[in-house]
A and B are shown apart, each in its own frame.
Chain A
Amino acid sequence: GNSVTQMEGPVTLSEEAFLTINCTYTATGYPSLFWYVQYPGEGLQLLLKATKADDKGSNKGFEATYRKETTSFHLEKGSVQVSDSAVYFCAPGFQKLVFGTGTRLLVSP
């Protein structure tokens, strides 16, 4: 089955710093890849997606590229804001999504 590995958190950054959250996965076939974000006490919000190799998903300044050769889908943002503080989940999947433990991001002013 599919599995995903994300970098351990928390990731602590100052406002306007550059963000990278690493994600690698194992999967049979070529799953779609997703990044979800979870704010405290809430459900998951879809942040971005990519459905095939070399696709770049982007939303709200966040980007991630589907790298089939390295089975990776790293999340990046050029300048983080305090409001980006949340837990981020990388998830490969077809019918069902597989999640890791997530990466907590803390952004200070």
Chain B
Amino acid sequence: DAGVTQSPTHLIKTRGQQVTLRCSPKSGHDTVSWYQQALGQGPQFIFQYYEEEERQRGNFPDRFSGHQFPNYSSELNVNALLLGDSALYLCASRSGTGSREQYFGPGTRLTVT
């Protein structure tokens, strides 16, 4: 049973560029959340997708956007990258109707130079 998978593992971008990160949820899960974890900090909630719609959003600017596909996989897009966007981006999945447990993927390490 595959867990949550994310791609790519690492990414280096330049300020002002755009980036897309991808996530496939754990089998049987239909709800995907994205978190940003800066170095030495705890993860911060970005947004959550369920039934292909954004259901909740944390305190992140509109430069952060997402999408969920019919197969429940998800993308996180960040436009106009800033140096401060350098972080580990974590995807978590859960069942929308079942347990409240969220399972995390290994993350994508984004470095903005």
Contacts and interface: CB of A to CB of B under 8 A. Distances in A.
Interface of A: 32, 34, 36, 42-46, 49, 51, 89, 93-102
Contacts of B35: 97, 99
A43 B105 CA distance: 6
B43 A97 contact: yes
B74 interface: no
B102 interface: yes
Contacts of B79: none
Contacts, number: 55
Contacts of A98: 45
Contact of A101 (B41, B48, B55, B90): B41
Contacts of A94: 100
Contact of B101 (A34, A95, A99): A34
Contact of A36 (B55, B104, B105, B107): B104
B58 to A, nearest CB: 7
Interface string B19-41: 00000000000000101000011
A32 B103 contact: no
Nearest to B40: A101
Given A32-B100, A43-B105, A95 B48 contact: yes
Given A44-B90, A51-B100, A99 B42 contact: yes
A44 to B, nearest CB: 4
Contacts of B14: none
